[in-house]
Amino acid sequence: MSGIQLVHTPEEVRAVTSMMAGKHLMNRYTPTKGLICRSVLIMEEVSFSDKFFVLLSLDTRTNSPMLTYSKQGGHPLERLLDMFPHTVKKY
């Protein structure tokens, strides 16, 4: 199960939360066995007219924050780098 789920009703929130809480969450960034889901963050969906990509991370070479962004949003970073490499900027 993906770590991000879109739900529309309180009943769906309860169902998805019960499927995630206490279970192993696995994706490309977790160890092989995954990580135990100990909490679930519930947020209101927000609609935007334009999509952007923004990522704040730690540059391990310089040990400083790095901001990665693109005006081309709606895709994971790996796909942006494949499809629109000229739009991805790092500071």
Residue 16 gets the label, from left (phi > 0), alpha (psi -120 to 50) or beta, of alpha
Q: How does pLDDT run across 53-84, given as a tens digit for each residue?
A: 999 999 888 999 999 999 988 888 888 889 98
Q: How does pLDDT run across 5-30, given as a tens digit for each residue?
A: 889 999 999 999 999 999 998 877 78
Q: Alpha-carbon distance 67 to 61, whole Å?
A: 14
Q: Say whether pTM exceeds 0.85.
A: no
